[in-house]
Amino acid sequence: MRVQVAIVGGGPAGHLLGQLLYKAGIDAVVLEQRSQDYVLGRIRAGVLEQGTTDLLTEIGVGARLQREGLVHGGVGLGFAGSHHRIDLHGLTGKNVTVYGQTEVTRDLMDARSGAGLGTVYEAENVTLHDFDTAHPRVTYTKDGTTFEVHCDFIAGCDGYHGVSRASVPADALRTYERVYPFGWLGVLSETPPVSEELIYANHERGFALCSMRSHTRSRYYVQCSLDDKVEKWSDDAFWDELRSRLAPEFAEALVTGPSIEKSMAPLRSFVAEPMRFGRLFLAGDAAHIVPPTGAKGLNLAVSDVRYLSRALAEFYGGSEAGINNYSDTCLRRVWKAVRFSWWFTSLMHKFPDDSGFGPKTQAAELDYLVHSQAASTALAENYVGLPF
Ligand code: RFL
Ligand code: PHB
């Protein structure tokens, strides 16, 4: 097979890139190691920046998002037993939209198959070759047969554990990492959300987050320890722990029910630089990870592939400037989201073995944050998303 771009990974980054390239008249194939159902079964992000929803709408995959997405003009912060609203729209003129990553990916997959574009699911042993030359190749195995894709470029959209970043010689990469001493335990339930807007809660027992997928489906998280096991958390234990971390009016209003998904995720910040090696480009979680507190991971994947699709369109239009600047352009935005996600994580979580200095400075900062318009605006501006 011969295509202009081989996209490794069929998560949101890979599928969005496929749609952007299609719109630009550039042909691509998506190679995904898992089944379609597996990819759609992963419950992850819930909050889309306005730039993300605008882009999805612009490229023709926003119809269901416009119908079903919940537009939020504010976000709640809970601490010291009380609730404070940050007026995102009033402070920035922008909103965020609650619409699950699963739904974004499904809409992109539907658009791709509707246009008759190629995606190979359950592609095994995906291997990248010769991306330091002008003639890269990707090989993979499907149903026992090995296939070869000849291309001009490879886009590594295969997430943190993917093969793309791992194919780059170690001495060509510089990585930056911070591992946090806690994780998140998440529950999805067929219950009405406790609040119309998200609530991020700082509590002496640990962080909690109240989110949602619709008016009838809630997504909640509590900070847990890294050696916790999902099996150890009954639904009742989860609801009790969540309730204990919320301000009284929300603790009382919380509607509980059986969990339909329960999972744990460790928290990490990670950046690999640069994001381009010859004719291989890394995008999304393949290049960087942020802790989910700022709701930035998926949105960063979106801005990366937006920059990449523009750069590739410029290349086929006769200029290499875009591909030469790709890494620097992405990383300028990536590091700002990494900083914001690290800051918000540090502000909202309980750190083990803290002498008391940490909680005191968190309390002072939270008090400042909700009473200073400058501080609230800085939070709001980052939360709704910096421009791209
Ligand atoms: P993905 O989603 O990991 O997709 C990568 C795809 O590549 C495939 N793959 C391979 N394919 C072929 N060959 C190989 N060798 C391969 N290895 C892997 C995988 O099967 C997969 O299908 O990366 P992508 O596309 O870059 O998307 C990134 C986002 O998934 C991620 O940043 C977000 O989910 C992060 N995130 C959030 N982001 C937000 O913007 N807003 C949020 O509200 C938000 N909440 C979250 C989150 C992540 C969470 N977890 C579980 C870490 C909440 C949580 C709990
Ligand atoms: C979610 O709804 O899954 C979600 C929302 C906000 C975050 C992280 C996750 O910061």
Query: Tell me, what's the pLDDT at 95?
Result: 98
Query: Tell me, what's the pLDDT at 146?
Result: 98
Same domain, 262 and 277: no
Residue with tokens 């026992």: 144
CATH of the domain at 263: 3.30.9.10
92 within some domain:
no
117 within some domain:
yes
Asked if 32 and 120 count as a contact pair (C-beta separation under 8 A), the reply is: yes
Query: Tell me, what's the pLDDT at 354?
Result: 74
84 within some domain:
no
Catalytic residues: 72, 200, 292, 296, 383
88 within some domain:
no
Range of the domain at 334: 5-76+97-176+268-345
Query: Tell me, what's the pLDDT at 355?
Result: 81
How many CB atoms are closer than 10 A to CB 134? 10
Same domain, 146 and 260: no
What is the number of structural domains in the chain?
Answer: 2
DSSP secondary structure, 240-286, as one string: HHHHHTS-HHHHHH-----EEEEEEEEEEEEEEE-SEETTEEE-GGG
Query: Tell me, what's the pLDDT at 192?
Result: 98
Query: Tell me, what's the pLDDT at 256?
Result: 98
Same domain, 334 and 196: no
What are the per-10-residue average pLDDT scores of the chain (388 residues)? 98 98 97 97 92 97 97 98 97 98 96 95 98 98 97 98 97 97 98 98 97 97 97 98 97 97 97 98 98 97 98 98 98 98 98 88 98 98 97
Closest ligand to Cα 127? 1
Closest ligand to Cα 296? 1
CATH of the domain at 13: 3.50.50.60
Ligand 1 atom showing the smallest separation from residue 186 Cα = 55
Does 219 sit in the ligand 2 pocket, CB within 6 Å?
yes
Distance 285 CA to ligand 1 centre (A): 6
Distance 226 CA to ligand 1 centre (A): 20
- 86, β-bridge pairs: 75
